[in-house]
Structure 1
């Protein structure tokens, strides 16, 4: 399972939320709308990924990051560092 690290301690995510005029709860609802499974990301997880301070999470699952970025209609790479290629996963 791949984890992504958020950029700038989540500031780019918070800036995007401000630009789009959405709260953390509204962002969570938007993730459900873009999720083909209809599950989305919980409000608690959105708070951890977009928040700051002690309760914030610097990493999240690729699927979580993708749903959040898609719900904001912004490129994943704007908000999260992409994983580097590992020789363990490269076909030879």
Structure 2
């Protein structure tokens, strides 16, 4: 968001342009994903992540991997992937 010079509301609005249904991501959801407080979320739906990433890419024209900071390694013991049988 910083690189694209967007506020939470502006990013939420930009996601409407990449969502085929035009609904986009709610500002409250963007806020929870970007926050570090009690309401912060560490994961989201794939479509939410895709709309946010695509909206940021369109605003910056940067490669998607340049838009996100990933830690060098994870110490998490939580498995976050699903088997193919669980995919819907």
Taking structure 2 as the reference length, what is the TM-score of the superposition?
A: 0.68
Structure 2, unpaired ranges of 5+: 58-62, 71-79
Shift of 1:63: 0.4
Bigger RCO (CA 8 Å, 6+ sep): 1
Shift of 1:22: 0.3
Secondary structure in structure 1 of the residue aligned to 2:3: helix
Higher helix fraction: Structure 1 or Structure 2?
Answer: 1
Shift of 1:88: 3.9
Match of 1:40 in 2: 24
Taking structure 1 as the reference length, what is the TM-score of the superposition?
A: 0.65
**1:63 and 2:44 matched:** no
How many residues are aligned here? Answer: 72
Shift of 1:48: 0.6
Structure 1, unpaired ranges of 5+: 1-16
**1:86 and 2:75 matched:** no
Please identify runs of 4+ aligned residues in structure 1 that moved more than 6 A.
none
RMSD across aligned C-alpha pairs, in angstroms? 2.7
